[in-house]
């Protein structure tokens, strides 16, 4: 477990009380030095004219004590729920975004941008100003071009609701509460990606508000380098994206499935990996090995979740080598043929907030048998929580690998899968030795997978424990991303612990300012 993680567990309750007290008397701002990646400033407390911002907005400015303040402030990952903003600008339009950004810069108020609030590392939390674009969630579809335009605050649920009637789709996620902005800006994985590419591959145009407050359109014909950076460069690095125009594709019938094996775990996992790696691009899936605590020991199972553009019979033919080892039984085999959007309802989840830590690694090719044995061994040795732990992989390849690493900011084109380890716990365990022990287990497990994986990690599974995050997320595209960041945000307005850095200043020139978010 890292030093920062121990400090976070030790001080979280004390910090929450300090924060709440400060906000209660209108102090407004406090920068906690225990946050992962924080570079250090003394406590900064200042009065700022919040009423000035409120009067400039078409939307609502929500302050501590207002109705629904905690609902708007809370992130998906509850381990960061104690980081409470001095104000939340609920932006109704691009003008509100510009006004909020200008006000924060005028009064040197730290800011973050939030769409869905699903930053795994809590980087969409702040004690300054939260620029919340979630009210900008309109989705429109142009049947003449097949393009959908999504507001910067649209979520997967909005995509589901609005693309169902015309029977089209994009590559989207399963969690309905996740913001499309974060999804597309970091790459965008989903069960459509092998057949149609990542969400960012389908991005045709985006509107952005830059650090200087200007509104720009980014497409192949104007501001094309910002479009390139928006295709996998990560959210919150270059500006505030207020809309996305995405090329859709028609959808019809397909087979969806959730199949669970509870016996012969080692053999099933090995056979399942071989089967899905050889599967057609019409198959999108996630393979999981799940551990739950049963008394003093852990119970493991292997799950296959996903969709196949084909019939249930086609699916069972593909899985025949796995079924020959162990048949899951009717109670553990949920297979259904449906039209596309009904199938997505079967696959989706609401995205209930939780306490979680997830660490990822890309895989090239297959994981050897000793790597699979390492996975099962670590899950059998999991120290346990009241919730669970999982190792999983999302199958890549197909349309994703047809682009070159430099074609978009998303660099991981040659990978066969994203693997990750996730541990979850409940509120009664937060800040206790249980979490400390699980963090130690998670970090050791993550390190033990290095011989079987690449050094890259998925930028949308952003991880405060990732020490080599710049290369892990962006690889050979890092230098170009730094150039674009420096060109459009020289004073580093859009900054958080793992934001793309600004290039060093040449001798004799004034250096970039820093705004801590």
With a cut of 90, say whether residue 384 has pLDDT above it.
Answer: yes
Backbone angles phi, psi at 112, to 5 degrees: -135, 160
Asked if residue 148 is part of any domain, the answer here is no
Share the mean pLDDT of the chain.
Answer: 90
Q: Of 13 and 99, which is predicted with more confidence? A: 99
pLDDT value of position 20: 32
User: Bridge-partner residues for 422, per DSSP?
Assistant: 358, 390
Backbone angles phi, psi at 12, to 5 degrees: -60, -45
Tens-digit pLDDT profile for residues 259-309: 999 999 999 999 999 999 999 999 999 999 999 998 889 999 999 999 999
Percent residues over pLDDT 70 in the chain: 89
pLDDT value of position 434: 98
pLDDT value of position 38: 32
Looking at the chain, how many residues does it have?
A: 517
Find the mean pLDDT for residues 309-335: 97
pLDDT value of position 46: 54
CATH of the domain at 310: 3.40.462.20
Q: pLDDT confidence of 4, banded at 50, 70, 90?
A: very low
Domain shared by 127 and 272, yes or no: no
Structural domain containing residue 389: 254-463
Q: Quick one: how many helices (H) and strands (E) in the chain? A: 16, 18
Q: Residue 79 has what DSSP assignment?
A: G
pLDDT value of position 296: 86
pLDDT value of position 65: 95
| Domain limit, last residue, from 76, 97, 132 | 132
With a cut of 50, say whether residue 13 has pLDDT above it.
Answer: no
Domain shared by 118 and 263, yes or no: no
pLDDT value of position 500: 98
Find the mean pLDDT for residues 406-413: 98
Return the residue matching tokens 């259904």.
Answer: 336
Asked if residue 447 is part of any domain, the answer here is yes
Asked if residue 232 is part of any domain, the answer here is no
With a cut of 90, say whether residue 88 has pLDDT above it.
Answer: yes
pLDDT value of position 257: 98
Structure-block tokens of residue 44: 């900064």
pLDDT value of position 288: 98
Are β-strands 168-169 and 297-308 bridged in parallel, bridged antiparallel, or unpaired? unpaired
What is the rounded distance in angstroms from the CA atom of residue 419 to the CA atom of residue 149?
31
CATH of the domain at 80: 3.30.43.10
What is the rounded distance in angstroms from the CA atom of residue 457 to the CA atom of residue 411?
11
Point out the least confidently predicted range of 71-85, 238-252, 387-401, 493-507.
493-507
With a cut of 90, say whether residue 447 has pLDDT above it.
Answer: yes
Structurally, the chain folds into a number of domains equal to 2
């Amino acid at each position: 477990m890292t030093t920062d993680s121990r400090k976070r567990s030790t001080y979280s309750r004390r910090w929450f009380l300090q924060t709440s007290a400060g906000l209660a008397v209108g102090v407004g701002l406090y920068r906690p030095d225990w946050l992962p990646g924080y570079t250090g400033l003394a406590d900064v407390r200042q009065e700022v004219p919040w009423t000035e911002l409120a009067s400039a907005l078409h939307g609502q400015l929500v302050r501590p004590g207002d109705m629904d303040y905690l609902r708007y402030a809370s992130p998906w990952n509850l381990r960061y729920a104690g980081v409470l903003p001095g104000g939340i600008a609920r932006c109704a339009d691009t003008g509100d975004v510009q006004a909020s950004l200008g006000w924060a810069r005028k009064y040197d108020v730290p800011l973050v941008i939030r769409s869905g609030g699903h930053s795994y590392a809590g980087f969409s939390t702040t004690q300054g100003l939260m620029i919340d674009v979630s009210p900008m969630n309109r989705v429109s579809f142009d049947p003449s071009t097949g393009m959908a335009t999504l507001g910067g605050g649209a979520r997967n649920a909005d995509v589901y609701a609005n693309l169902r009637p015309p029977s089209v789709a994009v590559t989207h996620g399963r969690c309905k509460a996740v913001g499309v902005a974060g999804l597309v800006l970091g790459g965008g994985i989903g069960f459509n990606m092998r057949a149609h590419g990542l969400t960012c591959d389908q991005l045709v145009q985006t509107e952005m508000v830059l650090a200087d407050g200007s509104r720009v359109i980014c497409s192949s014909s104007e501001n094309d380098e910002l479009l390139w950076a928006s295709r996998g460069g990560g959210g919150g690095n270059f500006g505030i994206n207020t809309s996305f125009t995405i090329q859709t594709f028609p959808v019809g019938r397909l087979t969806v499935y959730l199949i669970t094996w509870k016996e012969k775990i080692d053999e099933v996992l090995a056979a399942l990996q071989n089967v899905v790696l050889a599967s057609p691009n019409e198959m999108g899936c996630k393979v999981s090995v799940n551990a739950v605590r049963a008394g003093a020991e852990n119970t493991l199972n292997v799950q296959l979740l996903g969709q196949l553009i084909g019939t249930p019979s086609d699916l069972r033919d593909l899985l025949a080598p796995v079924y020959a080892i162990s048949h899951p039984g009717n109670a553990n085999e949920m297979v259904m043929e449906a039209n596309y959007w009904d199938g997505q309802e079967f696959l989706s989840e609401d995205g209930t907030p939780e306490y979680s830590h997830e660490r990822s690694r890309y895989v090239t090719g297959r994981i050897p048998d000793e790597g699979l044995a390492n996975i099962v061994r670590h899950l059998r040795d999991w120290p346990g929580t009241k919730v669970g732990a999982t190792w999983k992989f999302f199958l890549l390849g197909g349309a994703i690998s047809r682009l070159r690493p430099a074609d978009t900011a998303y660099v991981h084109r040659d990978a066969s899968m994203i693997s990750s380890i996730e541990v979850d716990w409940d509120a009664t365990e937060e800040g206790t030795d249980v979490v400390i022990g699980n963090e130690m287990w998670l970090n050791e497990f993550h390190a033990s997978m290095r011989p079987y994986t690449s050094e890259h990690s998925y930028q949308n599974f952003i991880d405060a424990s990732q020490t080599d995050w710049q290369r892990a997320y962006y690889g050979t595209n890092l230098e170009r991303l730094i150039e674009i960041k420096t060109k459009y945000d020289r004073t580093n307005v859009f900054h958080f612990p793992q934001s793309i850095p600004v290039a060093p200043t040449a001798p004799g020139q004034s250096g970039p300012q820093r705004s801590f978010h």
